[in-house]
Homo-oligomer: A and B are copies of this chain.
Amino acid sequence: MNIFDERESDIRAYCRVYPVVFDKASNARQTDEDGKEYIDFFAGAGVLNFGHNNERMKQAMIDYIQNNGVTHSLDMHTTAKRRFMERFVNIILEPRGMPHKLQFMGPTGTNAVEAALKLARRATGRREIVAFSHGFHGMTLGALSCTANQHFRAAAGVPLEHVRHFPFGCEKICQDCHLGCGMASIDQLRAYYLDSSSGITPPAAFLVETIQAEGGVKVAGKAWLQSLEKLAQDIGSLLIVDDIQVGCGRTGSFFSFDDLDIDPDIICLAKGIGGMGTPMAMNLVKPEIDRHWAPGEHTGTFRGQDLSFVAGSEALSYFEDDSLMKDVRAKSQIMAEALTALEKRHADLEVSGKGMILGLDIGDGNRAKAIVDACFQSGLLIASCGTGGRVVKLIPPLTIPEDDLKDGLNILITATDQVMEAS
B192→A184 contact, CB < 8 A: no
Contact with B along A204-244 (1 / 0, CB 8 A): 10000000000110000000000000000000000000000
Q: Is the CB of B158 within 8 A of A162?
A: yes
Closest to A303 in B: B108
Whether A134 contacts B293 in the complex (CB less than 8 A), given A61-B65, A162-B159, comes out as no
Whether, in the assembled complex, A299 has its beta carbon less than 8 Å from a beta carbon of chain B, the answer is yes
How many copies of this chain sit in the oligomeric assembly? 4
Chain B contacts of A260 at CB under 8 A?
none
Contact-residue bracket for chain A: 35 or more
A263 to chain B, nearest CB (A): 18
Q: How far is the CA of A102 from the CA of B10 in the complex (A)?
A: 9
**In the complex where A70-B22, A108-B107, A143-B140 touch, is A290 in contact with B157 (Cβ < 8 A)?**
no
Q: Which residues of chain B are within 8 angstroms of A158 by Cβ–Cβ distance?
A: 121, 127, 142, 159, 161-162
B82 and A3 within 8 A (CB): yes
Across-interface contacts of A12 in B (CB, < 8 A): 75, 295
User: Which of B184, B294, B301 is the one whose CB lies under 8 Å from A47?
Assistant: B301
Given A85-B7, A158-B161, residue A150 in contact with residue B24 (CB < 8 A): no
Do residues A11 and B296 form an inter-chain contact, with CB atoms below 8 A?
Answer: yes
A101-B10 in contact (CB<8A): yes
- Asked if A108 and B302 sit within 8 Å, CB to CB, the answer is yes
Q: Are B197 and A387 in contact (CB under 8 A)?
A: yes
Nearest opposing residue in chain B for A26, CB measure: B68
Q: A10-B101, A62-B65, A279-B305 are in contact. List 12 more A-B contacts (CB 8 A).
A: A11-B295, A13-B75, A15-B76, A23-B69, A53-B71, A106-B140, A107-B107, A139-B298, A140-B140, A140-B143, A159-B159, A271-B301
The 3 closest A-B pairs by CB, nearest first: A121-B157, A72-B277, A165-B199
List 30 A–B pairs whose Cβ atoms lie within 8 Å, in order of A's numbering.
A8-B85, A9-B101, A9-B102, A9-B290, A11-B295, A12-B75, A15-B77, A25-B70, A44-B74, A47-B301, A52-B71, A52-B72, A62-B65, A110-B140, A110-B300, A118-B156, A122-B157, A127-B159, A133-B195, A134-B197, A142-B158, A147-B199, A154-B297, A155-B297, A177-B191, A178-B188, A180-B180, A180-B184, A196-B387, A278-B279
